[in-house]
Amino acid sequence: MNSYNAEVKTKSMLKELGYKFIVPPSPEKLISIAIRLFPNRVANVIENLEEEGINLADLSSWDIIDTVYGLDVIVYNPNTDEVIGIDVTLHPHTSHKFHNKKKKQEKLQPLYKAIGVNKTLVYSFTTQKLEELL
């Protein structure tokens, strides 16, 4: 199992559970928000992308959500009226990397709020049940 497959399967499970997928803002708007709130983060992402020969301005909204915002999927829960941003990982929920992702999400809350996300979570595909987290 790789991270891409885990993300695809997570999206399938969310759809089966009745969650609605959110369409993110345009790439330009996402970049503008991120530069305003976390300019150093955007600068680091640009540097990393340039090392790979990629220009941030050429990325899709979902690529920016992933690389800058650190989320793999954004869904709406009609039962709770929450917009939930999810970072899917293969790391066990007891691992150091999992906890680092949680800390990153806590730090980036202003970024998430700016795009309408009012709940975030890190989902360990290998060790957690998605239904219990939501």
Beta bridge mates, 124: 89
Buried b (16+ CB within 10 A) or exposed e, 6-43: bbeebbebbeeeebeebebbebeebbebbeeebeebbe
* Tens-digit pLDDT profile for residues 96-113: 888 999 999 999 999 999
Domain map (residue ranges) of the chain: 3-133
Residue 68 has pLDDT above 80, yes or no: yes
Q: What is the pTM of this model?
A: 0.90
- Which of the residue ranges 36-40, 49-53, 113-117, 130-134 would you say has the lowest mean pLDDT? 130-134
pLDDT bucket at 37, cuts 50 / 70 / 90: very high
pLDDT, residue 52, reads 95
